[in-house]
Structure 1
Amino acid sequence: MFLPASLFSFLSDLKENNTREWFGENKERYLVQKSAFDQFTVQLIQQFGEFENMDGVELKHCSYRIYRDVRFSKDKSPYKTWFSASFSEGGRKSGLMDYYLHIEPGGKSFLGGGMYEPSPEQLAIFRQEVDYNAPQLKNIIFSTEFVKVFGDPVGESLKKMPKGYDINHPEIELLKRKQLFFWHKYADSEVCDPQFAEHLIHDAQILKPFLDFLNAIFFDKEPYTTK
């Protein structure tokens, strides 16, 4: 199972015609592409189950609606111009740090994960962990294989040192982090390749130790291993 090039054609057309009128006229096209993405997502749930606890997780627990919530947004475009899904134990509403898959034309597709919108409590926990146990995190995110696939972290940092920490702390850059998120982007041709699912799962397994680290400090959750 792989994603068809027609999925990108539909999303590109939707980006150019993001109105309820156009979407209504092209609803059948949307349903065909949604079905393809849903089937791909179901396949990934099974493959993630090889190294994560996906017991009881179904399509509805992973997929996102294409309809945008425009109530508090200046952009009133009614539809997202991408397909997306998240994978974790318990599904996307579990609160756990998960694997996020984003499929969008123009080389904007990616697999990502990490500390994207942490609560103040989570930020405090993260900084305390960095203060006392930075080597564990650094051994993960600065390993040769991890850097090769996911590169540098994405996200915002404080301009000044957070309160309670010495400005000369050796881990100043990690402590200033407000977000610590990694992603690996894919060209459209890669997404439509029959081997894309295998490449995606390979990259997810490289991301896993970082998500395990965050889930351990935030939720006291032991890393899942197959029996």
Structure 2
Amino acid sequence: MNTTAILSYLSDLELHNEREWYHAHKTQYQEANTEFIDMLWQLIMEIGKTDSSVINNNPHDLTFKLVRDTRFSHDKSPYNPAFRAHISAKGKLPIPVGYFIKIQPGNRSFLGGGLFTDMFKDATNMVRDYIVAHGFEWQRIINEKSFPETFRVKGECLKGIPRGYDPVHPQAKYLKNKSWYLEYPISDDQLQKDSFIKFATDIFIRMQPFNTFLNNALIGFEMPKR
């Protein structure tokens, strides 16, 4: 696995973020993408040793396009110079939650887990209700020694406790969230080490209790039909 090829291509794309350059360098893209797919294969196999729900994924189905939707953005750059993928029991769908990886040069890469999206009101309410009912379990997970040493729960929040929830609940701080996720930053140097797969797998394994809690909360959730 050659992560240097991935970083090199993405750095060049960021410098030449235009359609003409992109189409003229399809071979470089294909080489970098092949390396990224190989990385995902290895991660699936390693994560699958402790989370068998991800084993049957095809990494080609887990990646997100480089092409940006610029219709409502002031930034009209046509491409997002980052390779991204979500590995979960249902592929790259945001629910059930799984393991997210973003590779972007300039030390902007990260490993992620949890519920990133806040666009599904039903999902948000399901997680809030589950935290209310299983507050001790939630607190045990986020207080586990390796968790605060490694992660901080992130997510868009309301300014106050949402209506219908107890403002003095022991986990009231987290009831304000509309999403709950983790991000672990990765440097370019870490990405290029031979030990990266082992290192990334260890970080993802540390996320598993957090992911399991959220997925238990989201049992029965159905993605909206288009």
What is the alpha-carbon distance in structure 2 between the residues aligned to residue 12 and residue 171 of structure 1? 42
Contact preservation (8 Å) 1:14, 1:23: yes
What are the ranges of 5 or more consecutive residues in structure 1 without an aligned counterpart? 222-227
Contact preservation (8 Å) 2:86, 2:98: yes
Matched residue SS, 1:11: helix
Q: Give runs of aligned pairs for residues 90-129 of structure 1, distance below 5 A.
A: 90-93=90-93, 95-118=95-118, 119-129=120-130
Matched residue SS, 2:106: coil
Paired amino acid for 2:137 = Q
What is the alpha-carbon distance in structure 2 between the residues aligned to residue 49 and residue 167 of structure 1? 39
**Residue of structure 2 equivalent to 1:211:** 211
What is the alpha-carbon distance in structure 2 between the residues aligned to residue 147 and residue 56 of structure 1? 31
What is the alpha-carbon distance in structure 1 between the residues aligned to residue 3 and residue 54 of structure 2? 26
CA displacement, residues 108-164 of structure 1 (integer Å, 9 cap, x when unaligned): 1111011221421122122222222211011112211011122x2222211112101
Matched, 1:164 2:164: yes
What is the alpha-carbon distance in structure 2 between the residues aligned to residue 64 and residue 174 of structure 1? 29
Q: Give runs of aligned pairs for residues 41-190 of structure 1, distance below 5 A.
A: 41-52=40-51, 53-93=53-93, 95-118=95-118, 119-150=120-151, 152-190=152-190
Paired amino acid for 1:90 = K
Matched residue SS, 2:182: strand
1:30–1:201 distance in 2 versus 1, CA, 3 Å: same
CA displacement, residues 175-220 of structure 1 (integer Å, 9 cap, x when unaligned): 1112211111111000010000000111111101111111111116
**Structure 1 residue 55: Cα displacement:** 4.2
Paired amino acid for 1:92 = K
What is the alpha-carbon distance in structure 2 between the residues aligned to residue 25 and residue 76 of structure 1? 20
Paired amino acid for 2:14 = K
Question: With structure 2 as the length reference, what TM-score do the two structures score?
Answer: 0.89
Contact preservation (8 Å) 2:128, 2:175: yes
Q: How many residues in Structure 1 have an aligned counterpart in Structure 2?
A: 219
What is the alpha-carbon distance in structure 1 between the residues aligned to residue 86 and residue 17 of structure 2? 24
What is the alpha-carbon distance in structure 1 between the residues aligned to residue 195 and residue 5 of structure 2? 17
Q: Which runs of 4+ in 1 moved over 4 A?
A: none
**Residue of structure 1 equivalent to 2:224:** none
What is the alpha-carbon distance in structure 1 between the residues aligned to residue 180 and residue 56 of structure 2? 29
**Residue of structure 2 equivalent to 1:32:** 31
Matched residue SS, 1:219: coil
1:210–1:220 distance in 2 versus 1, CA, 3 Å: farther
Contact preservation (8 Å) 2:102, 2:110: yes
Contact preservation (8 Å) 1:56, 1:90: no
What is the alpha-carbon distance in structure 1 between the residues aligned to residue 34 and residue 141 of structure 2? 36
What are the ranges of 5 or more consecutive residues in structure 2 without an aligned counterpart? 222-226
What is the alpha-carbon distance in structure 1 between the residues aligned to residue 187 and residue 154 of structure 2? 19
**Structure 1 residue 88: Cα displacement:** 1.2
What is the alpha-carbon distance in structure 2 between the residues aligned to residue 170 and residue 44 of structure 1? 36
1:102–1:94 distance in 2 versus 1, CA, 3 Å: closer
